[in-house]
Amino acid sequence: VDSTGAVSLTVENTGDTAARNVRVHVRESPPLAPVSGSASLGDLAPGESASARLRVEVSSRALDGQYPLSLVVERDDSFGDPVTTEPLSTGVTVGPERTVETGSAGSVPAGSTTTVAFEVTNTGAAPMRDAVVRLNADSPFETDDDTAYVGTLEPGESATVRFTVSVGGAATPKSYALDTTVAFDNSFDRRVVTDVASTELRVETGGGGPLAALLDLLGL
């Protein structure tokens, strides 16, 4: 879902004569849209087959499951004129959207600047290459280093990332959710960004007391 993938097609000449200059063309079949929608298969003798891989984009609104993909096969007749089949259909299985899970980032004292660490796990079925984790630190948090390079994450693999986070002295002691996303290259070198995952970070009571919290609110 919401990505580009490969569709493998095999075309067989079931006729009694050779098929010259065979081409296959994929048509838009929502939620599937061709990226590279045509492939040349050359000449096919009777009973001979050939395969091609075509790139197809899946809409972000699709659900995982199987969808029909419409296509036509074209060849040249003995005069060199194109002959096209009636529309054909093949089933394409769409997997779930690539997702990540994050572990807890632990706890930090209010009014402090601390390095926090948590695990990021690839919960999808395909590798994430050149993965970069981005942390969106909203109030009461601030960070100057909101990205961490991970590299390749295989399916089910985890990596630990670290960020330096500052917490306001007036922050209420409780658990907060930090928005975390992962940007990565898929198998077609297309940059993909995951949906937002929530990373828990708990704020504990700081050592400065009420006066420190008041000064923090006043910006002093």
- Supply the pLDDT for residue 219: 52
Give the tokens for residue 167: 């917490």
How much is the average pLDDT of 94-115?
87
| pLDDT mean across residues, the chain | 87
| pLDDT average, residue stretch 143-148 | 91
Whether residues 55 and 113 fall in one domain: no
Could you tell me if 28 and 48 lie in one domain?
yes
Q: Does residue 214 form part of some domain?
A: no
Give the confidence band of 212 by pLDDT, cuts at 50, 70, 90.
very low
pLDDT band at 112 (very low <50, low <70, confident <90, very high): very high
User: 174 lies in a domain?
Assistant: yes
Q: Is the whole model's pTM more than 0.75, yes or no?
A: no
Q: Percentage of the chain surpassing pLDDT 90? A: 62
Per-residue pLDDT band at 213 (split at 50, 70, 90): very low
Q: What is the pLDDT of residues 8-66, one digit of tens each?
A: 899 999 999 999 999 999 999 999 988 888 999 999 999 999 999 888 888 877 777 88
Kindly report the CATH number assigned to the domain that includes residue 12.
2.60.40.10
Per-residue pLDDT reduced to its tens digit, 168-199: 999 999 999 999 999 998 776 778 888 889 99
Domain boundary, last residue among 94, 117, 132:
94
In this predicted structure, what is the pLDDT of residue 211? 44
- Number of structural domains, the chain? 2
Q: Are residues 48 and 143 in the same domain?
A: no
Q: Please, what's the largest Cα pairwise distance for the chain?
A: 92
Does 195 lie in the same domain as 145?
Answer: yes
Q: Domain boundary residue among 48, 72, 94? A: 94
67 and 108 both lie in a single domain: no
